[in-house]
Amino acid sequence: MSVENNATVPAAHLQALLTALDDIVFEINGDLVFKNVWVRDESNLFMPKAAFLGKRIPDVMGDLSERFVATVGEAMKTNKAQELVYPHIDNSKPNWYRATVRTVMESPSPADYQLIIAIRDITAAKQAESEIQEKNRILDGLLNNLPVILYRMNADGKITAADGAGIYTVPGWSNEALVGTNGFVLAADMKETFLKGMAGLQCRALNSFVINGADYYFDTMVVPDKNNPGGIICFAVDVTTAKRTRRELEESFRHIEKQAAQLLIDNNFKDRILSIISHDLRQPMASVMALTSLLQDMDDSLSEQELKNAFGELNRMANRNMRMLDGILLWIKSETKGYVYEPHKVRLWDNMDDANGIYEYDQRLRQIVFVNEINVDTTVNAHEQMLLFVNRNLIGNATKYSPTNGRITARATKGNNNDVVISITDEGQGVAKEFLDKLFSPVNHELQSSKVQSAGIALSICRDLVAGMGGKIWVESEMGKGATFFYSLPC
């Protein structure tokens, strides 16, 4: 420690100054002139200590001068120690100081009046105080602006203090209303959690209750109260809005899932309609176009009888197409709500022959023979248009995949369950074993790369129609040996 000594300070006074020494000690007179400087560490000074001597406070203390002058004046006036807390004169430094001004020797003459200014660095204490203030500010902000409640309970369960904006989210609650209330009664579902806290454990639970028919929820943290033996401190966050919102979201999700499921059904239905257009409408229209094109090219060379026969064929095609459209419309109707299935006796041979009619022209071009081996008296209990749809699709697939000069055979045999088993066999390449169980699926990515991709959706419709008529459908095939599609119907 270095000392700047002035001979005007008596030894007794110097001893008093040294006894009172803090980080920095200034001696000044009544005229506010610096007479001596004592300092532990010169780095605490904002200029060399010798530069203070002989100068007045207003000359060196800058913006702090007015406060220092007022504090010194009060000490001289009252002859009592005065304190001043101030920041470093250099604003770029974080230091804070506490200055204590004391009168050492009074004198009528200001030049002989002696005072000391003892200064201590309180930066650490000031920072700790600021941190506490910031924490209190945050806590006040939480309590006053967020839906939280902070309350204390003694060992008997009595609430001794309560604060927080969350109190006022519950009808009838207030600070005054809660204080004095028994917590075990107010939050009966929290009793076990409260007792754990009173036993010294930190725990958490969801407090729920009903007021005026409305549910309320508080997520509550319970900790032992170190200053109140057996007591606890509870921090409760009102999560009522979150819980209600979650319920609403869950309900919305269920509604969305229901809509998504319906959309999937609708999309599947649309896919089936497109399949019908490409599979059932395109073929007969192609046959009509081929025949009319032939008539146009050969108009001059055809006899009157040949023209009559050709137009008769066109008429039969148109009638079949009309019946086919009726069947498609019937299937669409069957897919809607409120449809009532009304079966009746249908002659199988007639239905199968009618179904094959739209493919006869294509079969003749490729020299494919269709053989209807069904007994003309065999009947099934079904819907004629639904059955036509099924037979048309199965014969259409058989025609499509049959080789030139191939044969398609339709048969019907008596089943074991008071039903009739109908089969349609072709001589095509057949279906790979791994695809047999997937043919009737409306959406199958594996089949989309196979030769049977165009039949997938139509076959799924056939499956639905056969099931709707009380039967079932399946397929048997071996690669290179063709395929046989079976379905059963009650007789």
pLDDT greater than 60 at residue 28: yes
Strand positions, DSSP E, 18-175: 24-29, 34-39, 82-87, 96-105, 114-121, 148-153, 159-163
Nearest to 316 by CA among 298, 347, 291: 291
Nearest to 485 by CA among 384, 410, 413, 435: 410
| Confidence grade of residue 21 (pLDDT, cut at 50, 70, 90) | low
Per-chain mean pLDDT for the chain: 82
C-alpha to C-alpha distance for 474 and 459, rounded to whole angstroms: 10
| Confidence grade of residue 164 (pLDDT, cut at 50, 70, 90) | confident
pLDDT greater than 50 at residue 445: no
C-alpha to C-alpha distance for 200 and 233, rounded to whole angstroms: 11
pLDDT greater than 90 at residue 156: yes
Residue type, 194: F
C-alpha to C-alpha distance for 370 and 407, rounded to whole angstroms: 6
Which pLDDT does position 285 carry in this prediction? 65
* Element containing residue 421 per DSSP (H, E): strand 419-425
Token reading at 414: 């008596």
Nearest to 173 by CA among 220, 209, 224, 139: 209
Domains 2-128 and 265-490 share a fold: no
Mean pLDDT of all residues in 427-431: 91
Which pLDDT does position 6 carry in this prediction? 46
Q: Out of 244-248, 260-264, 270-274, 441-445, pick the least confident.
A: 441-445
Higher per-residue pLDDT: 455 or 313: 313
For residue 306, give every residue at least 6 positions away whose Cβ sits within 8 Å of its Cβ, in sequence order, or none: none
Beta bridge partners of 421: 413, 488
Nearest to 36 by CA among 121, 111, 120, 115: 115
C-alpha to C-alpha distance for 152 and 161, rounded to whole angstroms: 5
Nearest to 487 by CA among 403, 406, 389, 407: 389
Nearest to 52 by CA among 39, 68, 33: 33
pLDDT greater than 70 at residue 297: no
Which pLDDT does position 452 carry in this prediction? 44
Higher per-residue pLDDT: 308 or 82: 82
Beta bridge partners of 56: 33
Which pLDDT does position 251 carry in this prediction? 85
DSSP characters for 27-63?
EEETT-BEEEEEES-GGGSSS-GGGTTT-BHHHHSGG
Residue type, 288: V
Considering the domain delimited by 146-238, tell me its CATH architecture. 2-Layer Sandwich (3.30)
Which pLDDT does position 52 carry in this prediction? 93
Where is mean pLDDT largest: 53-62, 256-265, 330-339? Answer: 53-62
Which pLDDT does position 115 carry in this prediction? 93
Which pLDDT does position 19 carry in this prediction? 41
CA distances to 231, 315, 329, 471 from 389, rounded to whole Å, are 81, 20, 11, 15
Which pLDDT does position 273 carry in this prediction? 61
Mean pLDDT of all residues in 334-352: 82
C-alpha to C-alpha distance for 487 and 491, rounded to whole angstroms: 13
Could you give the percent of the chain with pLDDT greater than 70?
76
pLDDT greater than 60 at residue 7: no
Which pLDDT does position 337 carry in this prediction? 61
Which pLDDT does position 447 carry in this prediction? 44
Which pLDDT does position 1 carry in this prediction? 39
C-alpha to C-alpha distance for 350 and 92, rounded to whole angstroms: 105
DSSP characters for 121-168?
E-HHHHHHHHHHHHHHHHHHHHHHHSSEEEEEE-TTSBEEEEE-GGGG
In degrees and rounded to multiples of 5, residue 415 shows phi and psi of -90, -175
Q: Out of 23-27, 181-185, 327-331, 363-367, pick the least confident.
A: 327-331
For residue 449, give every residue at least 6 positions away whose Cβ sits within 8 Å of its Cβ, in sequence order, or none: none
The overall pTM is greater than 0.85: no
pLDDT digits (tens, 9 = 90+) for 202-221: 999 998 888 888 889 999 99
Which pLDDT does position 361 carry in this prediction? 78
Could you give the percent of the chain with pLDDT greater than 90?
42
Topology annotation, domain 2-128: Beta-Lactamase (3.30.450)
pLDDT digits (tens, 9 = 90+) for 100-144: 999 999 999 999 999 999 999 898 888 888 888 887 777 666 666
Which pLDDT does position 450 carry in this prediction? 40
Mean pLDDT of all residues in 157-162: 93
CA distances to 2, 14, 44, 97, 99 from 23, rounded to whole Å, are 12, 16, 8, 10, 10
Which pLDDT does position 16 carry in this prediction? 47
In degrees and rounded to multiples of 5, residue 476 shows phi and psi of -130, 135
Domain 265-490 maps to which CATH number in 1.20.1250.20, 3.50.30.60, 3.30.565.10, 3.40.50.180? 3.30.565.10
Token reading at 175: 């600070």
Q: Are 426 and 408 in contact (CB under 8 A)?
A: yes
What is the Cα 59 distance to its own chain's centre?
67
Structural domain boundaries in the chain: 2-128, 146-238, 265-490
Q: Out of 286-290, 375-379, 441-445, pick the least confident.
A: 441-445
Q: Are strands 419-425 and 483-490 parallel, antiparallel or unpaired?
A: antiparallel
Mean pLDDT of all residues in 476-490: 93
Higher per-residue pLDDT: 285 or 228: 228
What is the Cα 277 distance to its own chain's centre?
40
pLDDT greater than 50 at residue 243: yes
